Amino acid sequence: MSEDSWFFHNPVPVTFSPGAISDLSAHLHCRRAVLVTTRGFKVRGLVDQIQSLMGERLVGVLDDVKPNPDLPDLDEQGHRLRTHEPDMLIALGGGSSMDTAKGLARLVVQPEGRTLAGHFRDGEPFEHRPALPWAAIPTTSGTGSEVTPFGTVWDFEKDKKYSVTGTDLYAAYAVLDPELTVTQPLEITIYSGLDAVSHALESTWNKNASPVTLGFCVKSLQLALESLPTLKANPKSLEARGRMMQASLLAGLAISQTRTALAHSISYPLTTAFDLPHGFACSFTLPALMRFNAGADDGRLKHLARCLGYDHAEGLADALEALFETLMVPNYLSGYLPEQDSIMALANQMLTPGRADNNLRAAGRSDVEAILKESLDSLGFR
């Protein structure tokens, strides 16, 4: 990190307000939009609300988004999407809806016959064409994908994940309406919120951090660490939902510049092998990683800890472990993860280029194994 030389750019216009969805149409400059979402929002009436707001400018609904979008599914969705000839996508939902929209925005501008599977599996080149514009309506508070220029797509047949990326994948507009998050199930609230915590911490112990991103991280963590216990006790609190949504946004602004680091590198094999939700996968190692990175601290972790009310990084690591207990994270993880040996066997897959090498302190396989063991022991996995 250099305080004397850094660059920041994020072009996404964002509106935050309870009820902000009602102004959606006025901010979208399109003629043929397609909504990308899950079937649950049709049942809840939100798809009909957006149809009413957009009128004839909404020409289609793609409502079969799946968690962790897979390459074959995206290619099939892209084939259907082309029949609508859209000039904009509207992503409604959590991170998977955003990732799906980003993958499709990259795909549908390519010549007919090009596929994401062919591109990522076989190295077939994509033509250099700007992605289709898209707008974001997040209904979870965690990914911050509404303000990042990258998305994650998966190849479960090959046990791999890939990134779609580029500045043309920044959203054309983002609507943050906390009223849309109030009906979110508690488990999703918790692992989404922990995803935001992970983003803020990963952007802090990051070689690409700047004074701007560190400022976002401090405020994000202040909001998230206050809001998550409140939401555990009272999931209907609109005030806490709003704070958590802002925490997610700020962490997203930070990682839009820095990307993520070792916690995310460790997480990917756990999601592909055990279907562990991303927010849990990228957060359960955070206390151990706080202690690990403190060994290379240049002052930023100590400053963060003090801003959050702790004397040093160790105190913040302890507080994160206490938060996990409050949120019952060990109980949730036990529903997904097997015994410790099966998890440790994946350690050789957990040093993902472009993630692990962003980490403040360099890590090798033995470090990953130690971080995993400390994390699993603290959560009661043997």
Of 153, 214, 244, nearest to 3 (Cα)? Answer: 214
**What does each C-alpha distance from 62 to 44, 74, 115, 200 come to in angstroms?**
16, 11, 18, 32
* Number of structural domains the chain divides into: 2
Beta bridge partners of 137: 92
Q: What is the CATH number of the domain that holds 349?
A: 1.20.1090.10
Average pLDDT score over residue span 182-194: 97
* CA–CA distance, 186 with 312 (Å, rounded to integer): 31
What angle do helix axes 186-204 and 211-233 make, rounded to 10 degrees? 160
Residues 175 and 286 in one domain: no
Residues 149 and 173 in one domain: yes
Q: Hey, CA dihedral for 5, 220, 145, 298, is it positive or negative?
A: positive
Tokens of 225: 């660490």
By residue count, the chain amounts to: 382
- 8 found inside a domain: no
pLDDT tier for residue 291 given thresholds of 50, 70 and 90:
very high
- Residue 116's pLDDT is 98
Average pLDDT score over residue span 279-289: 98
Output the pTM of the full model.
0.96
Pick from 179, 206, 224: which residue ends a domain? Answer: 179
Are the beta carbons of 285 and 337 closer than 8 angstroms?
no
Average pLDDT score over residue span 5-19: 97
pLDDT in tens, 76-98: 999 999 999 999 999 999 999 99
Residues 31 and 138 in one domain: yes
Average pLDDT score over residue span 36-50: 95
Residues 163 and 280 in one domain: no
Residues 295 and 319 in one domain: yes
Residues 40 and 126 in one domain: yes
- 1 found inside a domain: no
- 317 found inside a domain: yes
- Residue 3's pLDDT is 75
Q: DSSP 3-state assignment of 377?
A: helix
- Residue 4's pLDDT is 79
- 259 found inside a domain: yes
Q: DSSP 3-state assignment of 85?
A: coil
* CA–CA distance, 141 with 74 (Å, rounded to integer): 24
Extended beta strands in 170-246, E state: 173-176
Pick from 147, 179, 211: which residue ends a domain? Answer: 179
Half-sphere exposure of 136 (CA within 13 A, CB side): 33
Residues 157 and 198 in one domain: no
> What DSSP letter does each residue of 92-142 carry, written as one string?
EESHHHHHHHHHHHHHTTSPTT--HHHHHHH-PPPP--PPPPEEEEE-SSS
Residues 213 and 171 in one domain: no
pLDDT in tens, 315-325: 999 999 999 99
Residues 163 and 302 in one domain: no
pLDDT tier for residue 1 given thresholds of 50, 70 and 90:
low
- Residue 381's pLDDT is 83
Residues 142 and 194 in one domain: no
Residue range of the domain that includes 287: 186-378
Looking at residue 160, its amino acid is K
